[in-house]
Structure 1
């Protein structure tokens, strides 16, 4: 996935803070910045365009952001801003309203409202998202009420959004430019669903958005429960309070079936373990059972049907002779 990486360290130390302040104003919205580290401001940001939506992982020293009414009159991109805070803390002020955000919580903002953000003393690491108000599938007056509400990255829709953002930014090379518009739609739906959940107003989401968000929740549930050999469409449907028929209809639009997704995911994880030197001392049937396939013969047949060789042969072809990656005490040696 193409992206642009911006670093302040590529210019003289005395000019870095001014550079970063101008950069934030041009890539996001006009604002003022101040920092105790202004004399040598070391920051980086990656800008990833996903259709209408922009994702920007960033790291920077403690800083104060301030956007005033004058800045808004100067330019207003009319975006909703969402940041998943991964390290550090921030304290946000909208007039007399104040909220604090800590790791794995979300900071939300509106470019049409004046604000001041004061970070803590620790270096900040976050993944920011800019979503145009015009594309968020939620009534604007309701979306504006969501700004500033508590939203966690550890549970519910916030956890699903956090998983998407961290995996996407970590594995950019797995995506092509042609994937960008689709990923932008997925991201917009997740932000809208998180806002609606915070408002307890999921019924305000368009049906298509609710359906896509539900499919994403189900897929995340499947990944989390692959080790359970009793993971079935009936179990999944019950966990999401829908009928089995509804579950199958959802996945029909995905071009696969629930059973096929479970089987493929289990086999992919098992294949990764078989190719991992750290797991070289573990019996093949143990790896199959770890991923919800406790019957060794069934695991072997399914693996061979998917990859053309039995799991034992796949491991041998990938790692070489059994035990080649183990030391005399049975532990994987350092550096493998």
Structure 2
């Protein structure tokens, strides 16, 4: 953007993404980027920018059509100060907090920052007004059990939201709601040990543990249960609710990682056996058999197929669908648009990065 238009454009871009706010930014705006991706009923947003102050007043709320949303925000870089519902708190890097678009809020980011947010309809949380007020402007410390799970999970989810097929994105969005419900129960002093939401949160934590240890050939149900201080029987019960066994889940995740690595051009010189061993398969022949069963082709055939596809369109791995907001307004509206989709809708491209990218200045 031309220098003389950057400041106004940046303010408008943020308001389009999060809702109408009175914005104060430095006279000299250096650069800023907003990346958005739909995730079920949610919108995943990453913002990099210069210092700013945003105020949402009762007047702006009354004239807005997007006040039925709640924002869950992680401060990845920099710091923040948030004021809502009589609370005035400082948020450190790595902490996340919740704010409600239906009530006045003041958000101050005094230095260069990066935030990662989920914008979701208020009704999906199923919380009353009084319950929601207990959550707003109250940072979740990463040293707590729930904070240690939710903060890195939200960060990774926002980064990869654009890579998930629509059905998978909707399922993941449901898991986020479950975790937020557990957070609400914890803040409200309710018993969370036996709730479905608590079980779902534990399952997400176990899946994250499995992902971190996929390369370990000794990753077994016994080892996983010990790491989470639960019985093997209860571990199997958690996965039974997902209609899959623990062993099958581990194998599926290992196959997905092998498949992704085999498709990378930079890994072309690595043998299939080496890729299999890297992701925890003890036997290369067993890996080849289960890979063919899962994907109807051998690992070598998949690698050749991926290489051919890359040669056909090496410079266009993504298709972009845009509604065309017009010159000078190339930012998404509050309801998700534009959307980035994988070029081949049948391929799992998780890990390739987030969704649409719009440079605000």
TM-score, normalization by structure 2 = 0.67
Structure 1 match to 2:225: 237
Is 1:64 the equivalent of 2:53? yes
Query: Against the structure 1 CA distance between its residues 185 and 304, is the aligned structure 2 distance closer, same or farther, given a 3 Å change threshold?
Result: closer
Structure 2 match to 1:260: 248
Structure 2 match to 1:158: 151
Q: Which has the higher contact order (CA 8 A, sep 6+)?
A: 2
What CA distance in whole angstroms lies between the structure 1 residues aligned with 2:197 and 2:124?
12
What CA distance in whole angstroms lies between the structure 2 residues aligned with 1:306 and 1:113?
49
Structure 1 match to 2:70: 80
* CA shift digits 1:158-195 (9 cap, x unpaired): 222222222214x2xx423x666545433322333345
Out of 25, 33, 51, the residue aligned to residue 35 of structure 1 is: 25
Structure 1 match to 2:107: 117
Question: How many residues are paired up?
Answer: 303
Q: Is the 8 A contact 1:77 1:132 kept in 2?
A: no
Query: Against the structure 1 CA distance between its residues 136 and 205, is the aligned structure 2 distance closer, same or farther, given a 3 Å change threshold?
Result: farther
Structure 2 match to 1:101: 91
- Give, in angstroms, the shift of residue 118 of structure 1: 2.1
Q: Which runs of 5+ in 2 are unaligned?
A: 309-361
What CA distance in whole angstroms lies between the structure 1 residues aligned with 2:305 and 2:121?
50
- Give, in angstroms, the shift of residue 319 of structure 1: 7.3
Q: Is the 8 A contact 1:157 1:193 kept in 2?
A: no
- Give, in angstroms, the shift of residue 142 of structure 1: 3.8
SS at match of 2:251: helix
The structure with the larger Rg is 1
What CA distance in whole angstroms lies between the structure 2 residues aligned with 1:49 and 1:308?
31
Q: Which runs of 5+ in 1 are unaligned?
A: 1-8, 321-336
Query: Against the structure 1 CA distance between its residues 294 and 15, is the aligned structure 2 distance closer, same or farther, given a 3 Å change threshold?
Result: same
Out of 123, 136, 161, the residue aligned to residue 134 of structure 1 is: 123
SS at match of 2:124: coil
Is 1:188 the equivalent of 2:177? yes
RMSD: 3.8
Out of 194, 205, 208, the residue aligned to residue 220 of structure 1 is: 208
